[in-house]
Amino acid sequence: MARRILGAPRKKPTKNAQAVRIDNIIYTQGIPVNFDTGEVVGTTVQEQTRQTMENIKTTLQACGSSMDNIDKCTVFVTNRDLVAGMNEIYYRYFPPDSTPARVCVIADLVNPQMMVEIEVYAHVD
């Protein structure tokens, strides 16, 4: 089992791996930041969910996978009242008949500007 650190190009790199691939499984996450600046994008959960999902999409493509290959997500939101707004955007990224398995957790995220973070397990065909 070879473990490889992968990800999409970023002008402002972080200390954490953007994605890890072991065999045909990719472990990654999405946060609502601009990859070029590292700044949080959006002031609503809808804007932040959209940015998060676009970041996941970009990362998976850079790893040779896609949104269609997401098998499981863990969604973290900072407040129960944000779940409906997050869902409004989240479900746009998946066909209705093939959404990934998902858990949604209310959490206190490290960056107080962030309202959402999404952990993803995906595969490569």
Residue spans per domain, the chain: 3-123
Report how far Cα 11 is from the mean position of its chain's Cα atoms. Answer: 18
pLDDT at 16: 63
pLDDT at 18: 80
pLDDT of residue 36: 85
The residue written with tokens 């939101």 in the block is: 77
75 pLDDT more than 80: yes
CB atoms within 10 A of CB 3: 10
**Confidence (pLDDT) at 57:** 95
- The CATH number given to 3-123 is 3.30.1330.40
Q: Whole-model pTM?
A: 0.90
